[in-house]
């Protein structure tokens, strides 16, 4: 069965938001990470859309969504999603977030618990815990957390070299260094050659200090809805470095975990069949 994936734009929370939509039924929202866009979900949308109404926005600062100068703290990025859902007249969702999208999703479920039926977080160590556990070893793998926060310099160094920058990130972060290649790789390169695209992604990281303070303020509040934490078993900065089951046990009271084999940081792109099976199983009872 062919799935029709449509592009839409809506002005919500003061910015023009671009999102992909496919399917019908109970809503499932997919939030991408860095350095990606909603294109990251190209292997999931056709599969999930056979059963659900799938919505995959470009986050603030990314893809075809606006890239304003500010508003990148995760509480406001979660508000971006809340207002998008209001514009679409959606009251309750299953929420899936990868990397930066998982940070937005975690803040969203804490700030708007009544909206989230179940939560999936993919290859994400919560911001507060990265800060808490920071060490020379963590700094080596999380160098980009620091680099991306430097004002203006990343934009100056990356401009005209977006392919070199992305090739390093994808090759270093994936189990198969060429997992993101060919037309898929070129799609990301073109996305980051758009005016303001690199600055938007950097702005996401430049909100880290504010994000940590938000996370500390409600660190005692555990996520109550059913939560699935997936991560790449072979990523040096997540599954190889942290006890992910223990970390997410701190975060969520109703938790399921799964380490995706032969996967680095991008399990939804590196091992889509495994990830899709996990998502379909976890979402099975979500009827809207």
Residues annotated as catalytic (active site), given as ranges: 99, 205, 265
Angstrom distances, CA of residue 36 to CA of 80, 111, 118: 18, 25, 23
**CA angle, residues 259, 260, 264, in degrees to nearest 5:** 105
Question: With contact defined as beta carbons under 8 Å apart, do 121 and 228 qualify?
Answer: yes
The DSSP call for residue 151 is S
Please tell me the distance from the alpha carbon of residue 242 to that of residue 234, in angstroms, as a whole number. Answer: 12
Please tell me the distance from the alpha carbon of residue 266 to that of residue 33, in angstroms, as a whole number. Answer: 9
Which residues are within 8 A (CB) of 148 and not within 5 positions of it... i.e. 6 or more apart? 154, 201, 202, 204, 205, 206
Report the SS3 class of residue 149.
coil
Which residues are within 8 A (CB) of 54 and not within 5 positions of it... i.e. 6 or more apart? 20, 21, 22, 23, 27, 28, 29, 30, 41, 44, 45, 48
Q: For residue 287, which of 32, 117, 37, 121 has the smallest C-alpha distance?
A: 117
């Amino acid at each position: 069965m062919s799935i029709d994936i449509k592009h839409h734009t809506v002005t919500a929370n003061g910015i023009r938001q671009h999102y992909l939509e496919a399917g019908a039924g109970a809503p499932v929202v997919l939030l991408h990470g860095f350095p990606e866009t909603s294109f990251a979900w190209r292997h999931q949308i056709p599969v999930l859309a056979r059963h659900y109404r799938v919505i995959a926005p470009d986050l603030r600062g990314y893809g075809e969504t606006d890239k304003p100068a500010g508003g990148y703290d995760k509480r406001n990025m979660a508000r971006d999603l809340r207002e998008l859902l209001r514009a679409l007249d959606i009251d309750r969702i299953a929420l899936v977030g990868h990397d930066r999208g998982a940070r937005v999703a975690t803040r969203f479920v804490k700030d708007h618990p009544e909206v989230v039926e179940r939560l999936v977080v993919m290859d994400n160590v919560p911001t507060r815990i990265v800060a808490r556990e920071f060490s020379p070893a963590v700094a080596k793998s999380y160098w980009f957390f620091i680099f991306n926060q430097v004002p203006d310099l990343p934009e100056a160094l990356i401009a005209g070299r977006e392919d070199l920058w992305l090739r390093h990130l994808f090759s270093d972060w994936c189990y198969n260094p060429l997992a993101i290649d060919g037309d898929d790789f070129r799609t990301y390169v073109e996305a980051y050659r758009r005016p303001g695209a690199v600055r938007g992604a950097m702005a996401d990281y430049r909100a880290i200090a504010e994000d940590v303070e938000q996370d500390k303020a409600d660190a005692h509040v555990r996520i109550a809805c059913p939560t699935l934490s997936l991560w790449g078993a072979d990523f040096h900065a997540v599954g190889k470095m942290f006890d992910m089951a223990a970390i997410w046990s701190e975060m969520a009271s109703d938790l399921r975990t799964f380490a995706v084999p032969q996967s680095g940081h991008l399990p939804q792109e590196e091992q889509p069949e495994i990830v899709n099976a996990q998502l379909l199983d976890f979402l099975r009872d979500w009827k809207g």
